[in-house]
Chains A and B, each alone.
Chain A
């Protein structure tokens, strides 16, 4: 009962702020609304009892990425001014593309929801288990994907340095 009430509150927060993040005409406000969406998602993880993912969500998205976003936005020309709307043709294109995205994601979620539901454990996952799974090489363990993602990050860092360095 209480869980459902909290879930609905979180769902309303997430959906309202997602829409506001997209429709807001000021860049910095969009970023703030996006932050609320991310915090709401963290709340959902907390509701599931998955504390580790909750902390990761808050630390990485809210504390890390959003701070960088806000920093980057503050360094742009005029972060508080209203953005002029795009021409109609582009807006229609954007709507069509996002609808395609919704259908695609919706289909994947809908066809997998029954499988995912059985994977949710009721007891709290301990950190040791997560660490073992992340760093193991056996079946259902994730060392290889983990390393592949680190290579992606490395590529990002090298790219950032390439862009930022002074050309003599």
Chain B
């Protein structure tokens, strides 16, 4: 249906041209192999570059929230600040700590980063810019993202440091609890779209984003997902695993150099991943804002390429998360667990039921109009 609109700036032409060229000149196996390697390299590069951009953006926005200027020395407006930081972290010494369990100590950061990269691969960045598109997309994302917490627990324990240990335990309790809510909120939307595959989910939101389509229920699920996603990434009012005043830096106190960099990178990218999953599931992913029947308007919207739409939505959600981060005071651990188990989880369970009723009785927006 929307293939009819002209889409001058999409990557589709480039990727299909590359594919055709490779297949023409090479045997099947090598063409696929080269494509896989290319996709991997592009994903990793995007991962690193996005982290750098996110760190800069976060520092700048934080500064504005706190009425400061923020980084402004390296380059105009300090745009090369993170490049300098990354270079510094790359050439920093990795400090070896005595009396730690060496294997677990060095393995822990990899758990974090691997979980984060695996999830990163499943994000649809734009039309045809989608690496892992399983039938069970949403479930895949919740499954592999839960691996990260093992890294946190192992890091905390193997550091042989009480602060790290307490930080890791807090983080573990927090992640295990809030994962439940995030999963249920996503399941609510799976009920609405009737599929777990990200690509199909986006297609089904062509004319009506899920957040409008399921009105009340969607809105509740959206808010719950943002809260629990925020808590899962150990940020904002939920950053008590690394509460500076009590625990120095929580589970990554003993890490230095690139290993600390891994934790840092994973934290920022997890924020991005949560925002992009929310954008995909609730706000239509890379799908432009379209209104059924208004062809001229739709065409105008399609002139903006899909990846701009995607990053726009994700950027909005990230801004929202930063806003929350600098607006609310930190929760205590009992308040945190109360919020999850006594409020979010029951609301969520009722919400799923409401969504099922909405879908079955045909009260969603697309059914009504």
A residues neighboring B (CB under 8 Å): 1-2, 26, 28-29, 32, 35, 51-52, 54-56, 58-59, 62-64, 66-67, 70-71, 74, 79-80, 124-127
Contact = CB atoms under 8 A, between A and B. Distances in A.
B150 A59 contact: no
B75 to A, nearest CB: 41
Contact of A58 (B103, B104, B143, B154): B143
Nearest to A71: B172
Contact of B139 (A29, A52, A124): A52
Helix, strand, loop or mixed for chain A's interface? helix
Contact of B153 (A51, A67, A124, A126): A67
29 contacts: A26-B101, A28-B154, A29-B104, A32-B104, A51-B134, A52-B139, A55-B136, A55-B139, A55-B143, A56-B143, A58-B143, A58-B144, A59-B139, A59-B146, A62-B146, A63-B146, A63-B150, A66-B150, A67-B150, A67-B153, A70-B150, A74-B153, A74-B157, A74-B165, A74-B169, A79-B157, A80-B157, A124-B135, A127-B196
Contacts of A32: 103-104, 107, 154
Given A32-B154, A67-B172, A70-B154, A52 B144 contact: no
Contacts of B103: 29, 32
Helix, strand, loop or mixed for chain B's interface? helix
B269 interface: no
Interface of B: 29, 101, 103-104, 107, 134-136, 139-140, 142-144, 146-147, 149-150, 153-154, 157, 165, 169, 172, 176, 179, 196
A69 B146 CA distance: 14
Sorted nearest first, the 8 A-B pairs with minimum C-beta distance are: A63-B146, A59-B143, A58-B143, A55-B143, A55-B139, A51-B134, A70-B153, A55-B140
Quick one: which of A35, A71, A125 has the most chain B CB within 10 A?
A71
